[in-house]
């Protein structure tokens, strides 16, 4: 059984659970310990005890540790990528790509340890110096999702450690293996006991303990809107710092002047790869009425070429849905779309594979409108709806007509429309002639409206969340 990691030691959990391969439900990847509230409290206490020393640690010590972690992740990309794909269901090339991203994230923040900046300012009063510096917030509780089981933990853990914080992380129950493997690497990086702690377990137990404990100074959460709101209320109720990344209902506009091949690539890659299980996926395809018939026909032709199968099999384009509950949710939304009047133009049926798994043929729903549930609610699967638009202005209005605002894209050959869209799209990330899903590791990630709350993740902008600003005056 894979154990918890608390205060520099591997410990048994109060119970355990099996980690199941969604490509083959007969394949048990392993059994992983589940922490109870008492063990979670032990991890928080360890982090709180280590925080004063780690906050004042030498920046070279931090940089060396993070660089060592990043180097090992990259050296083991094939092994870790295979493990990730086996437990989450994205294809092996996608799994390896995610592992590489995680390694690069740690490398980036190793360098950030040496780039933490402040200001020295003149005072408006005589004989005073003013210094503005950044200091760690203390203990950071991390609650991670299942769809990027090594990249998202990495882009939370690495900056937390780089800026001198201690960490208690709870990975998603569906995908403990990737974060456990990451923890095993971190455990050998030379961090003092208590600086980093892994507590696997149920959200109602481990997650709630992190939210309730006043020694946890900040909470970084990625997950559903419903859970995110509960996290925000609990954290703010005790005045803890909070960073929340939630859902998306991301539009991809295809204007009549778009290059058709580019439009189809952006739509198919953004909507369906990683089995559509990305918060940045293009779930609303808003298409100009003149290009609409050609676009739909071309997308259907491309979808017919995609191979749905075992994530670890060479040649698989789309892996399985992560579990039975998510598969049922996807199928239910397809039924809802048809009941609302949309046309199921392609796919949408469950598939049988050589092994028992959660396979779903990518679904394309056409003749949709922006007021349908399939166009308003996040499905989080390989399902996209196509909505006709009369003009650029109409398409932009449809794109912005959503409670979400994570990623928004446009495909056009018009510099005028591309420039206008970058300014007027109501989203934290805007894509022109590229898929809505897929971002770099060194730039900020996050959205507007109901997609995100708090400061941005990734890049140097992560310092806004993982540090607090101190202003010091000195008489001279």
Residues 140 and 117: their CA atoms lie apart, in Å, by 21
Q: Which helix (H) or strand (E) holds 230?
A: helix 225-237
* CB neighbour list of residue 391: distance below 8 Å, 6 or more residues apart: 288
Q: Which helix (H) or strand (E) holds 287?
A: strand 282-288
End-to-end CA distance of the chain: 61
* CB neighbour list of residue 198: distance below 8 Å, 6 or more residues apart: 4, 5, 6, 43, 169, 171, 179, 180, 183
**Catalytic option among 245, 302, 378, 457:** 245
**Catalytic option among 279, 302, 378, 457:** 279
- Determine whether 245 is an active site residue: yes
- Determine whether 279 is an active site residue: yes
241's tokens: 């710092």
CA-CA-CA-CA torsion sign (138, 279, 390, 414): positive
Three-state DSSP at 341 gives: coil
Q: What are phi and psi of 367, to 5 degrees?
A: 55, 35
Residue 445 and residue 458 in contact, taking contact as beta carbons nearer than 8 Å = yes
Residues 117 and 87: their CA atoms lie apart, in Å, by 40
Strands (E), 59-177: 119-122, 128-136, 139-143, 166-170
Report, as residue numbers or ranges, the catalytic residues.
Answer: 245, 279
């Amino acid at each position: 059984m894979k154990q918890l990691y608390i205060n520099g030691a591997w410990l048994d959990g109060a119970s355990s659970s099996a980690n199941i391969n969604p490509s083959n439900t007969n394949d048990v990847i392993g059994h992983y310990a589940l922490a109870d509230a008492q063990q979670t409290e032990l991890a928080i206490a360890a982090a709180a005890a280590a925080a004063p020393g780690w906050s004042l640690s030498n920046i070279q010590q931090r940089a060396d540790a993070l660089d060592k972690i990043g180097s090992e992740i990259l050296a083991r990309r094939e092994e870790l990528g295979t493990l990730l794909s086996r437990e989450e269901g994205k294809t092996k090339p996608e799994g390896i790509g995610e592992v590489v991203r995680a390694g690069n994230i740690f490398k980036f923040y190793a360098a950030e340890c040496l780039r933490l900046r402040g200001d020295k300012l003149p005072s408006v009063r005589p004989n005073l110096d003013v210094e503005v510096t950044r200091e760690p917030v203390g203990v950071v509780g991390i609650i991670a999702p299942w769809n990027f089981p090594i990249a998202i933990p990495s882009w939370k853990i690495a900056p937390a450690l780089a800026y001198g914080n201690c960490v208690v992380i709870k990975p998603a129950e569906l995908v403990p293996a990737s974060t456990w493997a990451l923890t095993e690497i971190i455990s050998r990086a030379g961090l003092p006991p208590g600086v980093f702690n892994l507590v696997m377990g149920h959200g109602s137990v481990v997650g709630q303990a992190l939210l309730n404990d006043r020694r946890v100074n900040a909470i970084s959460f990625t997950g559903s809107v419903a859970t995110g709101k509960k996290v925000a209320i609990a954290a703010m109720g005790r005045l803890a710092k909070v960073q929340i990344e939630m859902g998306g209902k991301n539009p991809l506009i295809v204007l009549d002047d778009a290059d058709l091949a580019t439009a189809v690539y952006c739509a198919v890659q953004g909507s369906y790869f990683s089995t559509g299980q990305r918060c940045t996926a293009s779930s609303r395809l808003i298409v100009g009425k003149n290009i609409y018939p050609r676009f739909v026909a071309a997308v259907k032709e491309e979808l017919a070429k995609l191979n749905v199968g075992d994530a670890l099999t060479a040649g698989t384009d789309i892996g399985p849905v992560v579990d039975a509950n998510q598969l049922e949710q996807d199928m239910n939304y397809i039924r809802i779309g048809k009941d609302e009047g949309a046309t199921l133009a392609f796919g949408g049926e469950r598939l049988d594979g050589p092994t028992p798994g959660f396979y779903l043929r990518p679904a394309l729903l056409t003749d949709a409108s922006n007021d349908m549930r399939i166009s308003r609610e996040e499905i989080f699967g390989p399902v996209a709806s196509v909505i006709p638009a009369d003009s650029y202005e109409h398409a932009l209005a449809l794109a912005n007509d959503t409670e979400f605002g994570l990623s928004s894209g446009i495909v056009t050959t018009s510099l005028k429309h591309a420039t206008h869209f970058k300014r007027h799209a109501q989203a934290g990330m805007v894509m022109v002639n590229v898929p809505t899903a897929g971002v770099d590791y060194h730039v900020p990630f996050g959205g507007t409206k109901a997609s995100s709350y708090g400061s941005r993740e990734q890049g140097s902008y992560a310092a806004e969340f993982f540090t607090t600003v101190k202003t010091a005056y000195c008489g001279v």
